[in-house]
Amino acid sequence: MNKFLKRIAVFLCFMLIAPTLLNCIPSVHSLSQVEAAAKAKLYASKGTIGISSTPEYLYVENKKDNAKYTYTSKNKKVATVDKYGKLTGVSKGKTDIVVKETYKGKTTTVGTYKLNVALSKLFTKKMDVTAFNSATVPIDYYNYKAKYSFTPKDKSILTVDKKGYLVGLKEGSTTVTVTETYKKAKRSLGSVTVNVKMPAISKNSKSIDIGVNSTNYPLSVIDVDYLAWGLKVSYESADSNIVSVADVTSEWGDVETVIKGVAVGTTELTLFGEYNGQKFEIGKVNVTVKEIPVTQFKFDPSYVDEELGYFTKTYYLGEDEYSYSLKDYLIINPENTTTPVTFSSSNESVAKVDNNGKVTTISKGTAMITATCGSFSDKMEITVENYDEW
């Protein structure tokens, strides 16, 4: 073979193996991008904490597995930092927190966090509180090792209980001076203006309608603004022949007050509150008792069998039907209609149903149940089986 042909052969061989050789050489550009993306860094570069306040942590993003991270405060008289990055303010001032990473024997600086330690201060200069409710004055950078005292200017409007909570006593406005004692040193944080709001009937509840023969929980139909949690509320009707007030015992044994529409008409219902044995009037509500006719009544279409065109349900002999009510499957509008609902069974030898929608199984078989409300009615089918046939 002459020299020219040899040169051609060598050139062709090089061209064949060149792509493979190039793929074996790592891309410096690709590696640098991956390394940059994975480089650890601080989540934030600066921040403020209080002295002995709510714990704050330094967060490092892109931490490497098997790497060690250390945190160092440049001025421990201002703030300290533990091995987990938890910051603790010691005194007012500024310091740097240096974060380092040790990985495969090499130590690098992740970053420096600029930390400011501030004294506690009032979060706001004005606030509203509900009478007879416990409230606290919001404080920024709250020092949990300090003691705070609250001194109201007018103690007939606002008082402070043994735990340091504010309690409004009557409608009005007063100032509260806040003082911090830390390491035997006292410091005033200033004063906050506190507006005490007494419970009052909402504008939209000055007049309400309830249905005749309906039973209602008063605070479900009457809105009361600034009603303290747990405040004892009582009710008096000007005419018990139109609206009656009674205490009833729930199935859980709780005693609750209800109002009932006795007869069509209008009367006045007075709401009272009681705090520390002192009874006071919250407000009056005009209550109109009237007939509320039904406008929609049917079994919920989501339960209806599309092929049969009606709702079907299976019961089992001996089953505890206590929690079952067919009313739960009905759509009734309006919900507070005074039109009574009745139920009937086409085969009471199989199943009976009362007007509360409770089904009692008698024997195996099927029965059609008709639900009626005024001029509306709908049907469903009940199948009764034995448990062992399930």
Please indicate, yes or no, whether residues 206 and 193 belong to a single structural domain of this protein.
Answer: no
Please indicate, yes or no, whether residues 52 and 103 belong to a single structural domain of this protein.
Answer: yes
Residues of the chain with pLDDT below 50 are: 4, 21-22, 24-25, 27-32, 34
Domain end among 275, 290, 305: 290
Is residue 40 within 8 A of residue 101, CB to CB? The reply is yes
- Structural domain contains residue 16: no
> What is the reported pLDDT for 37?
52
- Structural domain contains residue 23: no
Is residue 269 within 8 A of residue 216, CB to CB? The reply is no
* CATH code of the domain in which 131 resides: 2.60.40.1080
CA end-to-end distance (rounded Å), the chain = 93
> What is the reported pLDDT for 150?
95
CA-based nearest residue to 119, from 141, 150, 94, 146: 141
Please indicate, yes or no, whether residues 321 and 353 belong to a single structural domain of this protein.
Answer: yes
Please indicate, yes or no, whether residues 137 and 215 belong to a single structural domain of this protein.
Answer: no
Please indicate, yes or no, whether residues 128 and 181 belong to a single structural domain of this protein.
Answer: yes
> Residue 274, SS3?
strand
Structure tokens at 217: 């929980």
> What is the reported pLDDT for 79?
98
Please indicate, yes or no, whether residues 192 and 266 belong to a single structural domain of this protein.
Answer: no
> Residue 6, SS3?
helix
> Residue 66, SS3?
coil
**Ranges assigned E (strand) in 169-309:** 172-182, 185-197, 200-201, 207-211, 215-216, 224-225, 232-237, 243-249, 255-261, 265-275, 278-290, 296-299, 304-305
Domain end among 90, 118, 146: 118
> What is the reported pLDDT for 324?
72
Please indicate, yes or no, whether residues 262 and 305 belong to a single structural domain of this protein.
Answer: no
> What is the reported pLDDT for 386?
87
Please indicate, yes or no, whether residues 129 and 144 belong to a single structural domain of this protein.
Answer: yes
- Structural domain contains residue 268: yes
Q: What is the pLDDT of residues 286-331, one digit of tens each?
A: 999 999 999 999 999 999 998 889 999 999 887 665 557 899 999 9
- Structural domain contains residue 204: yes
Please indicate, yes or no, whether residues 160 and 227 belong to a single structural domain of this protein.
Answer: no
> What is the reported pLDDT for 21?
47
Please indicate, yes or no, whether residues 274 and 342 belong to a single structural domain of this protein.
Answer: no
Domain end among 290, 314, 340: 290
| 93: alpha, beta or left? (left if phi > 0; alpha if psi -120 to 50) | left
Please indicate, yes or no, whether residues 174 and 98 belong to a single structural domain of this protein.
Answer: no
Number of folded domains in the chain? 4
- Structural domain contains residue 252: yes
* CATH code of the domain in which 107 resides: 2.60.40.10
- Structural domain contains residue 30: no
- Structural domain contains residue 12: no
Residues 6+ apart with CB under 8 A from 247: 255, 256, 257, 258
24 alpha carbon, distance to own chain's centre: 58
**What is the extent of the structural domain holding 156?**
121-197
- Structural domain contains residue 15: no
Please indicate, yes or no, whether residues 96 and 125 belong to a single structural domain of this protein.
Answer: no
> What is the reported pLDDT for 30?
46
Is residue 111 within 8 A of residue 42, CB to CB? The reply is yes
